[in-house]
Structure 1
Amino acid sequence: MTTFKASDFHPTNPAALIAALPAVLGFVPEHSLVLVTFEDDELGCVMRVDLTGELDDSLAHLVDVAATNGPDAVVAVIVDEDGAACRMCLDEHRLLADVLAQYLDDRCVELLAAYVVDRLADGGQWHRVDGEPGAGAVEDPMSSPMAAAAVLEGRRLYARRAELQAVVAVDPVRAEGLRTTMLLAEHDGELRPDVDARRDVEHALAVARGLSEGMVPEDDDLAAVGCAIADTRVRDTLYALAVGREADRAETLWALLARTLPDPWRVEALVLLAFSAYARGDGPLAGVSLEAALRSDGGHRMAVMLDQALQSGMRPDQIRELAQTGYRLAKRLGVRLPPRQGVGKRAG
Structure 2
Amino acid sequence: MTTDRTFDFHPSRPAALLATLPAVLGFVPERSLVLATFDDGHVGCVMRVDLSDDLSDPLDQMVEVAAVGGSAAAVAVIVDEDGAACRMCVDDHRWWALVLDEMLTARGVDLLATYVVDRLEAGGQWHRADGAGDSGMVDDPMSSPMAAAAVLDGRRLYARRTEVQAVVEVDPVRAESLRMSLLDAEHDGELRPDADARRDVEQALAVARGLSEGMLPADEDLAAVGCAITDTRVRDTLYALAVGREADRAEALWAMMARSLPNPWRVEALVLLAFSAYARGDGPLAGVSLEAALNCDANHRMAVMLDQALQSGMRPEQIRDLAQTGYRLAKRLGVRLPPRQDVDKRAG
Distance 2:34 2:20 in 1: 12
Counterpart residue number, 1:220: 220
Report the more deviating stretch, 304-313 or 140-149. 140-149
Report the more deviating stretch, 148-157 or 96-105. 148-157
Following superposition of structure 1 onto structure 2, how do residues 190-339 of structure 1 map, counting pairs within 5 Å? 190-339=190-339
Report the CA distance between 1:69 and its aligned residue: 1.6
Report the CA distance between 1:154 and its aligned residue: 2.2
Report the CA distance between 1:239 and its aligned residue: 0.4
Aligned-partner residue type, residue 5 of structure 1: T
Distance 1:89 1:260 in 2: 42
Structure 2: segments with no counterpart, 5+ residues: 344-348
Report the more deviating stretch, 40-49 or 294-303. 40-49
3-state SS of the aligned residue for 1:267? Answer: helix
Report the CA distance between 1:48 and its aligned residue: 0.8
3-state SS of the aligned residue for 2:114? Answer: strand
Report the CA distance between 1:2 and its aligned residue: 9.4
Counterpart residue number, 2:6: 5
| CA spacing shift, 1:275–1:57, aligned 2, 3 Å | closer
Report the CA distance between 1:230 and its aligned residue: 0.4
CA contact (8 A) 1:2 1:149 kept: no
Counterpart residue number, 2:346: none
Following superposition of structure 1 onto structure 2, how do residues 147-158 of structure 1 map, counting pairs within 5 Å? 147-158=147-158
Report the more deviating stretch, 68-77 or 320-329. 68-77
3-state SS of the aligned residue for 2:75? Answer: strand
CA deviation profile, 1:297-336 (whole Å, cap 9, x unmatched):
0111110110011011110011110001000001100111
Following superposition of structure 1 onto structure 2, how do residues 160-199 of structure 1 map, counting pairs within 5 Å? 160-199=160-199
Aligned-partner residue type, residue 90 of structure 1: V
Distance 1:37 1:214 in 2: 43
What TM-score do the two structures reach when normalised by structure 2? 0.95
Report the CA distance between 1:218 and its aligned residue: 0.5
Distance 1:46 1:318 in 2: 18
Distance 2:261 2:206 in 1: 18
Distance 1:47 1:238 in 2: 30
CA contact (8 A) 2:44 2:69 kept: no
CA contact (8 A) 1:31 1:81 kept: yes
Counterpart residue number, 1:346: none
Report the CA distance between 1:153 and its aligned residue: 2.1
| CA spacing shift, 1:234–1:39, aligned 2, 3 Å | farther
Aligned-partner residue type, residue 290 of structure 1: L
3-state SS of the aligned residue for 1:29? Answer: coil
Instruction: Say what the alpha-carbon RMSD is for the aligned residues.
Output: 1.6
What TM-score do the two structures reach when normalised by structure 1? 0.95
CA deviation profile, 1:204-226 (whole Å, cap 9, x unmatched):
01111111111111111110110
CA contact (8 A) 1:29 1:120 kept: yes
CA deviation profile, 1:188-235 (whole Å, cap 9, x unmatched):
010000000000001001111111111111111110110000000000
CA deviation profile, 1:26-59 (whole Å, cap 9, x unmatched):
2211111011112443112211111111213432
CA contact (8 A) 2:3 2:315 kept: no
Distance 1:277 1:182 in 2: 26
CA contact (8 A) 2:93 2:129 kept: yes
**What is the aligned length?**
342
Counterpart residue number, 1:47: 47
3-state SS of the aligned residue for 2:108? Answer: coil
Report the more deviating stretch, 33-42 or 126-135. 126-135
Within the alignment, does 1:93 sit opposite 2:93 as a pair? yes
| CA spacing shift, 1:2–1:142, aligned 2, 3 Å | farther
CA deviation profile, 1:248-295 (whole Å, cap 9, x unmatched):
111000000000011001000000000000001110110000000001
Report the CA distance between 1:110 and its aligned residue: 1.1
3-state SS of the aligned residue for 2:113? Answer: strand
Aligned-partner residue type, residue 45 of structure 1: C
3-state SS of the aligned residue for 1:9? Answer: coil
CA contact (8 A) 2:4 2:45 kept: no
Distance 2:53 2:72 in 1: 29
Report the more deviating stretch, 22-31 or 190-199. 22-31
CA contact (8 A) 1:207 1:217 kept: yes
Report the more deviating stretch, 40-49 or 234-243. 40-49
Counterpart residue number, 1:81: 81
CA contact (8 A) 1:45 1:311 kept: no
Following superposition of structure 1 onto structure 2, how do residues 109-128 of structure 1 map, counting pairs within 5 Å? 109-128=109-128
Structure 1: segments with no counterpart, 5+ residues: 344-348
Report the more deviating stretch, 48-57 or 261-270. 48-57
Report the CA distance between 1:63 and its aligned residue: 1.7
Distance 1:304 1:2 in 2: 20
CA contact (8 A) 1:178 1:261 kept: yes
